[in-house]
Amino acid sequence: MQRRKDEGSMLPEAATITDAQADRVIRTVQILGSHISLADIPQIMFAVDRWIAAPGDYKTCRQLVVTGFHGIWEAHKKPDFKAILNLADLWVPDGIAPVWIARIKGMRNVRRTPGVEIMQAFFEMANKKGYSSFFYGDTEETLSGLRENLEKKYPGHRVAGTYSPPFRPLTSEEDEEVVKMINDARPDILWVGLGLPKQDRWIFEHKDRLNVPVAAGVGAAFLFLSGRVKRVPEWVGRSGLEWLWRFLQEPKKLWRRDLIGGPQFVWHVFLELIGIRKEER
């Protein structure tokens, strides 16, 4: 598949980093056997830009995982899912928990990288380079609002296509049609908003058939960018209370994850930090 090859990056930080340097400066924190890359937004954009500009260097679609404690906890409970996330080309911290744990372990200048901010950074880059996106997941209403907002704000970025899957398992024929639809649209990146763990499993199971340089699971980011759900104020995000903000907005959806899974996650991480629980490898 022939694609554009722009040299460099639109971000000053990325433009001065070589491929080897970019890989070397990304630190990794291990939490309950999961390996999270503490990449910042410029580093993530550098990697995505490189993957799009030279798709022939890689045999399959590159997978970007964007999740916080929820993904780590699900991975801890399900070894097969942990293997999927650890095999991703880049797994970055959407939430504050991995950042706090990295700081406890002595890592400085670590910040979370929410999926919505990653998407916005990509659209800014795509607005200048003409990159395109395909959006898979959520409802037709959300996708319609998302497309409308992006076309107004980022006219240089192209929406290659959108698809809202039915709320049931697809047949094998339907699944093949979806893959063909995405490949025929020839996007530079595929954004998947099916929720965790479904979105990351879907990417892993389909990336060998996807003729797309990059696929990223971004959860609820479609809702934020479509305007259907208000995003947390910046000061709340910086303070680490975005989970509480979202819980108050959607308690029926998030109570089990936050009020049961959250404390269990904290307890297991505490045991690991004090050395009672051996680190999984």
Least confident of 5-9, 56-60, 144-148, 257-261: 5-9
Q: Is 242 domain-assigned?
A: no
Pair type for strands 90-93 and 62-67: parallel
Q: What residue numbers bound the domain in which 82 lies?
A: 12-226
Q: Is 70 domain-assigned?
A: yes
Q: Is 149 domain-assigned?
A: yes
Distances in Å between the alpha carbon of 172 and those of 47, 77, 130, 182?
33, 28, 33, 16
Q: Is 240 domain-assigned?
A: no
Q: Is 252 domain-assigned?
A: no
Q: Is 104 domain-assigned?
A: yes
Pair type for strands 28-31 and 34-37: antiparallel
Q: CA angle 171-177-178, nearest 5°?
A: 90
Q: Is 257 domain-assigned?
A: no
Confidence category of residue 36, pLDDT binned at 50, 70, 90: very high
pLDDT for 190-221, tens place per residue? 999 999 999 999 999 999 999 999 999 998 89
Quick one: the chain helix, strand, coil %, rounded to 5?
Answer: 50, 15, 35
Q: Give the count of domains, the chain.
A: 1
pLDDT for 54-104, tens place per residue? 866 666 899 999 998 899 999 999 999 999 999 999 999 998 899 999 999
Q: Is 247 domain-assigned?
A: no
pLDDT for 10-32, tens place per residue? 333 444 445 544 545 789 999 99
